[in-house]
Amino acid sequence: SGKITINGQIIDFTDEKNILAVARKVGIDIPTLCYHPELTIAGACRLCVVEIERMGVQASCSTAPTDGMVVYTNSEKVNRVRKMVLELLLANHDRECTTCDSSGACKLQKYANDYGIKRLRYPNRTTMAPLDTSSLSIVRDPNKCILCGLCVRVCKEKQGIGVWDFKNRGSRTDIVAAMDQPLSESACINCGQCIAVCPTGALTSNSSSIQEIWAAIRDPKKTVVCQIAPAPRAALGEEFGLGSVDVTKKVVTALRKIGFDKVFDTVFTADMTTIEESNEFLSRLVKGENLPLFTSCCPGWVKYAEEFHPELLSNLSSCRSPQQMFGAVLKKKYAKELGIAPQDMFVVSVMPCTAKKYEAKRPEFTTEGAYDVDAVLTTVEAARMIKEAGIIFNTLEESEFDQPMQQATGSGVLFGTTGGVMESVIRYVAGKLLNAEGRVDVEFTRGMEDTKIASINVGDNKLNLAVVNGLSATEALIQKIQSGELDVQAVEVMACPGGCVGGGGQPFQNDNEHRKARASEIYGIDAKLELHKAQDNEDLNKIFEKYWGGCCNHDTHHDLHTHYNP
């Protein structure tokens, strides 16, 4: 710790590892392209240079503060270096910004503007490399890659997978997926975290479903139905400058205006998942079988388990995710009730997640040859459709989800943040075993730490439980369980940092601050909702009764559960 002077302002520093962090702490912005506070430091882009007395121009991301240091973040020399860096990056960059999916969110575009880069001495690149569109979730445009390496680092460090890597050196340097094969051939689990850290449009979500959805909406033969997941409701407003606030009821209005015939809440089937999964858990506890139970609603985690831990597949809950439970309800039951063939119903979901695009296309999730969920929009893509439809979002009136699957409990909303599925299960189990009335709030499941472990007592049962997010942390936890060091009966896994609020399809500022803000909004929604535990959802209880003669039986198992492929 000590004091440093930045632009004449004396600042105390404690454990900040670099000058950049000290400056940002007091609201002095230094531009960066290759830096992320949660990843290792590369010092590759040189945009974060500052001038330090007696040390000259240095990268602020890789220089530690020392007592008495005097730093200038915007001197003439510094800005000259930054302009040069930006010009060189732009020289080798496809500058078709108007048609880029990241236009408006791109940091290179922003800094070129901020630093007044006008005429470039170099023409736009003329030889364009082909795009990798092989993945259902992610598109890579190599012509927009600035080689910052954030995708390489996030996939290796946070997910422990290492799909991306550098190839060649010097001016021929490139970033490629494993073995230089198309992304779809790699071990990629489609989480989209590389999109979330990419500063440009080199990595974006595969948004090809937008056109399909417009076509379905315009097709008079199709009944188009939309469901919206828990996490987007606290983030979609960011795309309209509203910040991380609950916009659920405005989104319902917007989706109706876009042309959806019915708008439902994925929280309804999150409650359904809680009931099916909790009973599965209780019956495994009684039999002492397939423990610990691992949750299975995160498709990134499911694919990871299939690729890297086939021995754990019998421990995964057999429940479909809420997205796919809703798909099943709609195509297998609700369509029939309306007298519609499953092929004539088009089901869309709005998800914070790029892996949900892949999950929807898994061959097991079909009814009479039609996909249960036909198309998946990320939060960002849903906002784009709202804009394309000419809807002024911010002044929209609010409206309710459709009947007869309208109710949603606070516990289902919690699914959108790390720890939420576990808390829902605990609430359900406590309610069921203890006939507990009233609210059951859980402490240990909350917060952004990547691994949370606790023992809780539910009546006579002592439950050892774990909640984990990020697959590197998950891998570490699995090692502890398999070595016998840790004894737990249930584990909630979400592949993305912070759970779904930090999904790869969420608005671009996908850092810890935003994840926390979104999660706290989700807890706020739960606190306000009167319906608290999954079993409080009366609409759901009626649907269970009407379609399957109750819950957790042979027929719900057939329609609402799945199997995994080693």
Indicate which of ligand HC0, ligand SF4, none lies near residue 252 (CB less than 5 to 8 Å, by partner kind): none
| Those residues with Cβ within 8 angstroms of residue 162's Cβ, 6 or more apart along the chain or in another chain | 152, 155, 156, 178
280 is catalytic: yes
Decide: is 321 part of the binding site for ligand HC0 (CB under 6 A).
Answer: yes
CA-wise closest residue to 197 among 160, 159, 154: 154
Q: Minimum distance from CB of 138 to ligand SF4 (Å)?
A: 5
Region of residue 130 (left: phi > 0; alpha: psi -120 to 50; beta: else): beta
| List 31, 327, 499, 504, residue binding ligand HC0 (CB under 6 A) | 499
Decide: is 416 part of the binding site for ligand HC0 (CB under 6 A).
Answer: yes
Residue 551: both structure tokens together:
């819950």
Count residues contacting ligand SF4 (CB under 6 A)?
14
Longest C-alpha distance within the chain, in Å? 79
| List 31, 65, 149, 192, residue binding ligand SF4 (CB under 6 A) | 192
Of 410 and 499, nearer to ligand HC0 (C-beta) is 499
Neighbour tally for 29: CB within 10 Å: 11
Indicate which of ligand HC0, ligand SF4, none lies near residue 139 (CB less than 5 to 8 Å, by partner kind): none
Residue 353: both structure tokens together:
């997640």
Decide: is 191 part of the binding site for ligand SF4 (CB under 6 A).
Answer: yes
Indicate which of ligand SF4, ligand HC0, none lies near residue 251 (CB less than 5 to 8 Å, by partner kind): none
Backbone angles phi, psi at 127, to 5 degrees: -95, 115
Decide: is 195 part of the binding site for ligand HC0 (CB under 6 A).
Answer: no
48, 191, 297, 298: which is the annotated catalytic residue? 297
Of 200 and 506, nearer to ligand HC0 (C-beta) is 506
For residue 542, give Cα distances in angstroms to 20, 263, 278, 403, 438: 56, 19, 19, 12, 22
Q: How far apart are CA 338 and CA 335, in angstroms?
A: 5
For residue 204, give Cα distances in angstroms to 12, 191, 353, 385, 552: 39, 12, 12, 16, 39
Backbone angles phi, psi at 521, to 5 degrees: -65, -40
198 is catalytic: no
Decide: is 190 part of the binding site for ligand SF4 (CB under 6 A).
Answer: yes
Q: Minimum distance from CB of 425 to ligand HC0 (Å)?
A: 11
Indicate which of ligand SF4, ligand HC0, none lies near residue 145 (CB less than 5 to 8 Å, by partner kind): none
Residue 389: both structure tokens together:
């439809």
Q: Minimum distance from CB of 206 to ligand SF4 (Å)?
A: 11
Decide: is 496 part of the binding site for ligand SF4 (CB under 6 A).
Answer: no
Residue 346: both structure tokens together:
């088009």
Q: How far apart are CA 558 and CA 546, in angstroms?
A: 16
Q: Which stretch binds ligand HC0 (CB under 6 A): 185-193, 320-328, 391-399, 533-541?
A: 320-328
Decide: is 147 part of the binding site for ligand SF4 (CB under 6 A).
Answer: no
Amino acid at 455: S
Region of residue 507 (left: phi > 0; alpha: psi -120 to 50; beta: else): beta
Of 191 and 517, nearer to ligand SF4 (C-beta) is 191
Decide: is 430 part of the binding site for ligand SF4 (CB under 6 A).
Answer: no
Residue 242: is it exposed, middle or buried by C-beta count within 10 angstroms (0-12/13-18/19+)? Answer: middle
DSSP assignment of 347-362, as one string? EEEEES-SHHHHHHT-
Q: How far apart are CA 232 and CA 220, in angstroms?
A: 29
Indicate which of ligand HC0, ligand SF4, none lies near residue 356 (CB less than 5 to 8 Å, by partner kind): ligand HC0
Count residues contacting ligand HC0 (CB under 6 A)?
20
Indicate which of ligand SF4, ligand HC0, none lies near residue 507 (CB less than 5 to 8 Å, by partner kind): none
Residue 291: is it exposed, middle or buried by C-beta count within 10 angstroms (0-12/13-18/19+)? Answer: middle
Q: Which stretch binds ligand HC0 (CB under 6 A): 2-10, 128-136, 156-164, 351-359?
A: 351-359
- Answer for the pair 47, 28: CB distance below 8 angstroms, yes or no: no
Indicate which of ligand HC0, ligand SF4, none lies near residue 321 (CB less than 5 to 8 Å, by partner kind): ligand HC0
| List 19, 20, 45, 229, residue binding ligand HC0 (CB under 6 A) | 229
Q: How far apart are CA 564 and CA 566, in angstroms?
A: 6
Site for ligand HC0 in 278-297 (CB under 6 A): 297
Decide: is 231 part of the binding site for ligand HC0 (CB under 6 A).
Answer: yes
Helix (H, G, I), strand (E, B) or coil at 457: strand
DSSP element (H, E) containing 453: strand 451-458
Site for ligand HC0 in 247-266 (CB under 6 A): 266
| List 31, 149, 192, 230, residue binding ligand HC0 (CB under 6 A) | 230
289 is catalytic: no
Which residues partner with 71 through β-bridges?
Answer: 6, 52
Decide: is 419 part of the binding site for ligand HC0 (CB under 6 A).
Answer: no
Indicate which of ligand HC0, ligand SF4, none lies near residue 161 (CB less than 5 to 8 Å, by partner kind): ligand SF4
361 is catalytic: no
Q: Which residues are known catalytic residues?
A: 277, 280, 297, 317, 356, 359, 364, 500
Residues that bind ligand HC0 (CB under 6 A): 229-231, 266, 270, 297-298, 321-323, 351-353, 356, 415-416, 421, 499-500, 503
Residues that bind ligand SF4 (CB under 6 A): 138, 154-155, 159, 161, 163-164, 188-194
